[in-house]
A and B are shown apart, each in its own frame.
Chain A
Amino acid sequence: MKLIPMLSGLSILSMCVSYGMNKEKTRSGLSYAFNMIRSMAGNLIAIMLGIGLMLAFLPQDLLPNLLGGNHLFLETIGAAMVGCMTIIPAFAAFPLVSSLLNAGGHILPLTAFLTTLTMVGVATYPIESATFGRKFTLIRNGLSFIASVLIALLLGGILK
């Protein structure tokens, strides 16, 4: 995978250009980004450690049986529902999904999980309905759930 080093180089370069164009703006942007990452870092590492522990403890054949694609549609719906209720930062979700894939999970349910995780907000429901009312919130989240399952199914079809 040479893409990541390449993009890293590009990022550093664009930061330098940005700094050359406007020192103040770049500095305040950088400090915002730095604070954001620092405030997440502890929990992020803890979640990574937790994922490791969980995967090491689970019996080897549990995941392939549970999310391996034997009952693809049911698994996708189930994973989508778990995604709605899980509260982990999206940052930690990608390593989790990639670990679960390696451990024998199927791409369809895992994609559904990944999408509902960010798009459907059960935890943020009180805030959203206080701002936009119950009807809008229920409809937006309900449709997002259906969209997440569709995204997973279509992605499975395309990447076959």
Chain B
Amino acid sequence: MILNRKPSNKNKQVIQMTDTQIYKILNNNKLIFLMLMLYVFTQLKAPQIGRSALYIAKDNILQLVMVMPIILALTSLIKAWVPEDLISKNLGRKSGVKGTLMAFVLGSVSAGPIYAAFPFAKVLLDKGASVRNITILLSSWAVIKVPMLANELAFLGPEYMITRWCLTVCLIFVLSVITEKLVSKEDILLDIQNREEQETFVSSSDHTIGPSCTGCSVCLKALPADYDHLIIIENKQARFKANTDFPKSILDTLNTVCPRKAIL
């Protein structure tokens, strides 16, 4: 069932394809197979259009490949050298300018998708971070990723990138001040409390994670702190911890974040 990847037989790795494996490969790359089929079709029916489509795509892909080393380096350097607890230490108090600045920096240097920011920001809020700093953290996490700036630079030029960056930072600040005026911390806590009272629970034995899972661990990042052992990943396949009850909202969250839609 599972590809054997022991280093000892790397040279004579015999790949035996079973039906599930073929299904897995097809399913994991269905978008690209669909596109290839469309291209072949276009090439047959309208070669002129096919050629110009290929030309545009080739340009973009090449440019993307060119910035990849920068993105790779920035992401790995951030992951390697930004300490994970830097964050909670500096946002937790009634922090003035320093806290605001930290929120911006943290959001921008974070590696990972926005839904990884939610559980994390929630912990910070519980530890005493202000609504304003949380708003800044979430917004800058979404918009101003440092590795993404390299991408923007390559495709849209330095002038555009710098102007948009400055405007975004200013407006996120304004937005966070307004949000803090409109929403108090009690509002948030009350909202969540109401939600928890209505919460229904489901059992992990009623749900499985399908074979299209690649073990990408996106789901782990989206799990709230109290449920971080709910999913176990082994051999590039995730599964639920047996016989555990958990809120239905977590299941919905997992369904939204899973890139393979493997949660069944």
Contact = CB atoms under 8 A, between A and B. Distances in A.
B192 interface: yes
Interface in B26-57: 28-29, 31-32, 34-36, 38-39, 42, 49-50, 52-57
A148 to B, nearest CB: 8
A78 interface: no
A3 B155 CA distance: 12
A53 B61 contact: no
Interface string A53-93: 10111000000000000000000000000000000001100
Contacts of B222: 127
Interface string A31-66: 011111101001111111111110111000000000
Contacts of A95: 60, 63-64, 155
Contacts of B70: 4, 7-8, 11
A3 B153 contact: yes
Interface stretch (B11-19, B87-95, B142-150): B142-150
B135 interface: yes
**Which bracket fits the contact residues of A?**
35 or more
A120 to B, nearest CB: 9
Nearest to B217: A35
Contact of B192 (A111, A132, A139): A132
A155 B159 CA distance: 10
Interface of A: 1, 3-4, 7-8, 11-12, 14-15, 18, 22, 25-26, 28-30, 32-37, 39, 42-53, 55-57, 90-91, 94-95, 97-99, 101, 107, 111, 114-115, 118-119, 121, 123-124, 126-136, 139-140, 143-144, 147, 150-151, 154-155, 158-159
Interface of B: 28-29, 31-32, 34-36, 38-39, 42, 49-50, 52-58, 60-61, 63-64, 66-81, 111, 114-115, 118-119, 121-122, 125, 131, 134-135, 138-139, 142-143, 145, 148, 150-156, 158-160, 163-164, 167-168, 171-172, 174-175, 178-179, 182-183, 187-192, 195, 214, 216, 222, 224, 249, 252-253, 256-257, 259
13 contacts: A3-B153, A4-B66, A11-B73, A12-B69, A28-B79, A29-B75, A29-B80, A52-B60, A53-B35, A99-B60, A119-B139, A140-B138, A159-B163
